């Protein structure tokens, strides 16, 4: 059984389940860790911006040619399929990274 700060109790009593399961409490993980990387997987609603931030880090470390949907998805901890729902290809992701960078530059100039 899983215990600790990363788990919450889920009481299934009010749910219509077969009688033998009705009184069972199940621990549900709030944070899941991938078996291959030991990194938390991504489970909140701002995936687009997380991918853009990952793309910016990829560009910062290895240049714009390193920006891709799959590497950004890997960095964020999601499947490429989830990332492709937001960006059809690397060019779209790179364009979003550039737009975000220009917005930050403009904001910095205004300050």
Please name the residues in contact with 100: beta carbons below 8 A apart, sequence gap of 6 or more: 52, 56
Do the beta carbons of residue 92 and residue 101 sit within 8 Å? no
pLDDT digits (tens, 9 = 90+) for 9-66: 444 445 454 555 455 554 444 445 445 556 555 565 789 999 999 999 999 999 999 9
Give SS3 for 50.
helix
Task: Give, in degrees to the nearest 5, the angle at Cα 97 between 92 and 103.
Answer: 125
pLDDT digits (tens, 9 = 90+) for 71-87: 999 999 999 999 999 99
**Which residue in this structure is represented by tokens 């030991």?**
38
């Amino acid at each position: 059984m899983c215990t600790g700060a990363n788990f919450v109790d889920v009481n299934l009593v009010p749910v219509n389940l077969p009688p033998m399961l009705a009184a069972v409490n199940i621990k549900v993980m709030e944070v899941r860790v991938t078996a291959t990387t030991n990194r938390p997987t991504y489970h909140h609603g701002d995936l687009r911006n997380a991918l853009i931030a990952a793309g910016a880090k990829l560009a910062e470390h290895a240049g714009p040619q390193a920006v891709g949907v799959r590497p950004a998805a890997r960095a964020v901890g999601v499947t490429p399929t989830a990332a492709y729902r937001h960006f059809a290809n690397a060019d779209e992701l790179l364009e979003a990274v550039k737009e975000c960078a220009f917005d930050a530059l403009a904001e910095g100039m205004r300050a």
